């Protein structure tokens, strides 16, 4: 009888202990800094993914990823081409603030992302993260601009686009070298077999995950594909009904699958933020139903596929039309990594962490987004459902279409930008024109 009574007296204590332990574990998982992977493809269009309407090839791993997090239908990048888009992602600023808003860097370029710029890697490294850049850099190939001088502990990849491999630039009589392949500060190859770039980057990423050490990690995986020239490994050649382009996308999907499997095997998938997106619209692929493509400020040039997952904290199976851009990743990661951006740094993105945690009940505020063309000029602005084009350098043929007229589109009802309604809404045209001019002038 004494034993029974003792057990009964101890039962509340045992129950409280179990509850406390469970809560402690939950809190621990919540406050533990999440690992972060940014899976960044090159020239992959809005419709070049199964869940966005891809045709004649499959992307089962990325489709599954979308089902396990949030898929965005209004996800943007701040530029129509490689260099400025990457600058925007890594700084949280419009590329004009970095003076990298015109065209792209070449093997003969002398400049790059200033060492004084504050990058996402520097932010996270300061918060105790290990940082790795794997793949394509394209923010300056001179030593002072390279990833290892921009906050990345390690670099494994190439300094610029794969089409700059041994390319002759007639206009300046310059012969670029065979594409150099770096491991940290050393060139370990020249003119690598590009069929294996996707595979090599994937294997390096998996290796980093499996040998991560005690720190949380940030991996910026910037694939070269599907930028032209296109290459797929022999294992994927002929896999799709969409020719080599489809093969390339299917191998990128495989890459994502391998990385996700590694995270699961290591037991860290639940506490890893995985971001999938592209640096700009397609050169060879599809942006349906959007108008335009790479290098153009039509929607197809800057609206891209965007998926964010964090299984332990972000709800599953959400599709949202809330406006988000890669500029938002910088302040969002700062919040989720429990660190702060220096006050003197001007950030153009916004922290969307509250929305990610509770997308069904949180709404993001309406805010303007500015579209800078390949020539560095501001060509368009979006605010809410309205998008105003004030000029057009690429993607408009004056010979066949006449002089470009100021054009306003209602993107909620006309996502393909077919019907110019500027004459019907002069006040909106005037408002957006002034906003665009004032913003651009503030960056001078």
Q: Which residues are catalytic?
A: 82, 138
Q: Which residues, other chains included, contact 202 with Cβ-Cβ below 8 Å and sequence gap of 6+?
A: 254, 255, 258, 259
Q: Tell me the β-bridge partners of 130.
A: 217
DSSP secondary structure letters along 54-80:
--SS--HHHHHHHHTSEEESSEE-S-S
Number of Cβ within a 10 Å radius of residue 293:
23
Helices and strands in the chain: count of H runs, count of E runs? 11, 18
Return contacts of 337-346, CB within 8 angstroms, 24+ apart.
Answer: 337/33, 337/34, 337/36, 337/123, 337/124, 337/127, 337/129, 337/216, 338/31, 338/33, 338/127, 339/123, 339/124, 339/126, 339/127, 341/92, 341/118, 341/123, 342/118, 345/118, 346/93, 346/97
| Cβ atoms 406, 422 nearer than 8 A | yes
| Cβ atoms 158, 138 nearer than 8 A | no
Least Cα distance to 52 among 276, 219, 292 occurs for 276
| Cβ atoms 277, 45 nearer than 8 A | no
Distances 127 to 17, 223, 361 between C-alpha atoms, Å: 33, 26, 30
């Amino acid at each position: 009888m004494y034993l029974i009574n003792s057990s009964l007296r101890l039962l509340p204590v045992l129950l409280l202990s179990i509850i406390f332990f469970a809560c402690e574990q939950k809190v621990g998982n919540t406050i533990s800094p999440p690992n972060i992977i940014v899976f960044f493809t090159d020239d992959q269009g809005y419709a070049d993914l199964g869940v966005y309407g891809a045709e004649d090839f499959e992307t089962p791993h990325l489709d599954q990823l979308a089902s396990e997090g949030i898929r965005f239908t209004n996800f943007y990048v701040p530029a129509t081409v490689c260099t400025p888009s990457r600058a925007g992602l890594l700084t949280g600023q419009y590329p004009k603030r970095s003076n990298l808003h015109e065209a792209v860097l070449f093997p003969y370029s002398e400049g790059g992302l200033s060492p004084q710029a504050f990058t996402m890697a520097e932010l996270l490294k300061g918060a105790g993260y290990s940082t790795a850049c794997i793949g394509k850099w394209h923010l300056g190939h001179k030593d002072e601009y390279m990833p290892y001088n921009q906050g990345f502990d390690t670099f494994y990849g190439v300094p610029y686009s794969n089409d700059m491999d041994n390319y002759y630039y007639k206009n300046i009589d310059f012969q670029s070298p065979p594409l150099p392949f770096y491991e940290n500060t050393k060139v370990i190859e020249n003119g690598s077999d590009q069929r294996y770039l996707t595979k090599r980057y994937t294997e390096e990423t998996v290796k980093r995950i499996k040998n991560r050490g005690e720190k949380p990690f940030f991996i910026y995986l910037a694939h070269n594909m599907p930028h032209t020239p296109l290459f797929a490994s022999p294992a994927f050649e002929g896999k799709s009904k969409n020719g080599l382009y489809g093969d390339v996308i299917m191998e990128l999907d495989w890459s994502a699958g391998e990385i996700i499997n590694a995270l699961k095997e290591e037991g860290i998938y639940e506490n890893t933020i995985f971001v999938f997106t592209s640096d700009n619209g397609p050169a060879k692929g599809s942006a349906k139903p959007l108008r335009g493509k790479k290098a153009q400020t039509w929607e197809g040039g800057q609206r891209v596929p965007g998926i964010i997952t964090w299984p332990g904290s972000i709800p599953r199976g959400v599709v949202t039309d809330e406006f988000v851009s890669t500029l938002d990743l910088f302040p969002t990661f700062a919040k989720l990594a429990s660190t702060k951006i220096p006050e003197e740094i001007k950030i153009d993105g916004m922290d969307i962490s509250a929305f990610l945690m509770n997308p069904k009940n949180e709404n993001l505020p309406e805010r303007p987004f500015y579209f800078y063309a390949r020539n560095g000029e501001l060509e368009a602005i979006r605010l809410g459902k309205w998008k105003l084009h004030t000029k057009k350098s690429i993607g408009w043929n004056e010979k066949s279409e006449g002089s470009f007229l100021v054009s306003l589109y209602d993107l909620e009802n006309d996502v393909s930008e077919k019907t110019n309604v500027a004459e019907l809404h002069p006040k909106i045209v005037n408002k957006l024109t002034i906003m665009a001019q004032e913003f651009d002038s503030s960056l001078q």
